[in-house]
């Protein structure tokens, strides 16, 4: 069996997110309408929702690092796989559980890039990333036995204690931002579930100069993220429990 399977029968993924950041004044005001008109053709039941951040004054959001790249509007189709979110300096494509698979998610990302590029309101992307959020329920929480995580504080081995951690890991020309939280409660469609959240975001440290560069990096981000998850994060026994399929 390959250490990096194509898919997992017992899929822990609860959300996949592609995000692009930019600094184009006024783009956040124009993009929602343009995206709605374009996406409506393939998603006739598309709905527009205003998010709470939209009520925060623009100047306040600009100086607050927690709000600077926050979404203000959301586009979604009832029972659809995707959610599109737009802010003053950010656009995201979120894929909800159940995951549609990389081929379909990638196609949706490429389609969104084309919409943004052809809008003409975002002259240059600054940073884009792929983010995968998994909920592991293989062990009673708090427990990180499924992860290749060896953490000690003095004589205390941190394995069965509550954890909230964030670390940035360099990987060639990329960076992985890894966040782990246990125990964590997550509201899913089937109800509230408790487990260990593994949040992995991967982005390039190289300067993104145009949309063609973004398109050419998508598969690289995916490949490196998948390698990090299966080779460096999950233990072999955990992968077996998730029932890998080649």
Considering the domain architecture, whether residues 138 and 57 belong to the same structural domain is answered as: no
Classified as helix, coil or strand, 49 is strand
Residue 120 pLDDT > 90, yes or no? Answer: yes
Please state, in angstroms and rounded to a whole number, the distance separating the CA atoms of residues 51 and 237: 41
pLDDT number for residue 196 = 97
Rounded Cα–Cα distance for residues 21 and 209 (Å) = 12
Domain count, the chain: 2
Of 74, 89, 123, the residue at which a domain comes to its end is: 123
User: Does 102 reside within a domain?
Assistant: yes
Determine which of 45-59, 174-188, 193-207 has the lowest per-residue pLDDT on average: 45-59
Say if residue 119's pLDDT is above 90: yes
Checking if the pLDDT of 64 tops 80, the result is: no
* pLDDT at position 2: 54
Instruction: Among 68, 103, 123, give the residue marking a domain's end.
Output: 123
Report the CATH number that the domain containing residue 30 is assigned in CATH.
3.30.310
pLDDT tens track for 134-168: 999 999 999 999 999 999 999 999 889 999 999 99
56 vs 203, which has greater pLDDT? Answer: 203
| Burial degree of 145 (CB within 10 A; 0-12, 13-18, 19+) | middle
Let me know whether 142 and 245 are in one domain.
yes
Enumerate the β-bridge partners of residue 168: 177
**117 in the same domain as 64:** yes
In a domain? residue 192: yes
Which of 67, 95, 123 is at the close of a domain? 123
| Predicted confidence (pLDDT) at residue 66 exceeds the cutoff of 90 | no
- Mean per-residue pLDDT over the chain, rounded: 93
Same domain, 148 and 84: no
Q: State pTM to two decimals.
A: 0.94
Interval 158-186 mean pLDDT:
96
Query: Would residue 87 count as lying in a domain?
Result: yes
Give the chain's end-to-end CA distance (angstroms, integer): 7
pLDDT tens digits for 211-239?
999 999 999 999 999 999 999 999 999 99
Buried residues in 164-203 as b, exposed as e (16+ CB within 10 A)? eeeeeeeeeebbbebebbbebebeeeeeeeebbbbbbbbb
pLDDT, one tens digit per residue, over 97-108 is: 999 999 999 999
Burial status of residue 113 (CB atoms within 10 A of its CB: 0-12, 13-18, 19 or more): buried
Structural domain span for residue 166? 133-246
């Amino acid at each position: 069996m390959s250490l990096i399977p194509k898919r997992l029968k017992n899929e822990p993924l609860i959300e996949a997110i592609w995000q692009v950041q930019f600094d184009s004044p006024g783009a956040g005001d124009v993009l929602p309408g343009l995206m709605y008109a374009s996406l409506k053709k393939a998603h006739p039941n598309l709905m527009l929702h205003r998010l709470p951040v939209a009520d925060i004054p623009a100047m306040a959001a600009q100086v607050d690092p927690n709000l600077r790249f926050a979404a203000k509007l959301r586009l979604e189709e009832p029972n659809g796989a995707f959610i599109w979110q737009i802010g003053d300096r950010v656009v995201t494509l979120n894929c909800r559980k159940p995951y549609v698979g990389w081929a379909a998610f990638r196609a949706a990302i490429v389609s969104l890039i084309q919409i943004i590029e052809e809008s003409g309101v975002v002259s240059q992307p600054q940073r884009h990333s792929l983010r995968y959020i998994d909920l592991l329920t293989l062990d009673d929480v708090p427990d990180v036995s499924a992860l290749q995580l060896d953490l000690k504080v003095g004589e205390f081995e941190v394995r069965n204690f509550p954890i909230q951690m964030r670390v940035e890991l360099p990987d060639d020309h990329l960076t992985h931002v890894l966040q782990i939280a246990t125990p964590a409660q997550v509201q899913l469609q089937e109800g509230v579930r408790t487990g260990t959240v593994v949040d992995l975001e991967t982005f390039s440290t190289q300067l993104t100069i145009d949309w063609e560069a973004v398109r050419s990096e998508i598969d690289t981000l995916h490949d490196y993220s998948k390698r990090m998850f299966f080779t460096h994060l999950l233990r072999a026994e955990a992968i077996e429990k998730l029932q890998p399929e080649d």
